[in-house]
Amino acid sequence: MTQIRSLVRWHESVNRLSAAGVGMVVEAGPRKVLSGLIKRIDKNLVITNIEDLESLKKTLKVLNESAG
């Protein structure tokens, strides 16, 4: 029950990821709700979304380009 009543510390979580050196976030699922929230918090993060085969291909391309 604590999970239901507690605050979601989304802003703090995104800032911690960024401070830890995370440069890319991949959201899996329909629509881009979390991606939009992340963009408002840290515009420097690269954000991709996987919701179908086409977006999976795009994400894999971005990951490959950033790896090398």
* pLDDT tens-digit readout, 9-61: 889 999 999 999 999 999 999 888 899 999 999 999 999 999 999 999 999 99
Whether pLDDT at 3 is above 70: no
Give the model's pLDDT for residue 26: 94
Range of the domain at 42: 2-67
* C-alpha atoms less than 13 angstroms from C-alpha of 11 in its C-beta half-sphere: 3
pLDDT tier for residue 6 given thresholds of 50, 70 and 90? confident
pTM, rounded to two decimals: 0.75
What pLDDT, on the 0 to 100 scale, is given for residue 56?
Answer: 95
Contacts of 8 (CB under 8 A, 6+ apart): none
Residue 22 and residue 47: Cα distance in Å, rounded? 11
The total number of structural domains that make up the chain: 1
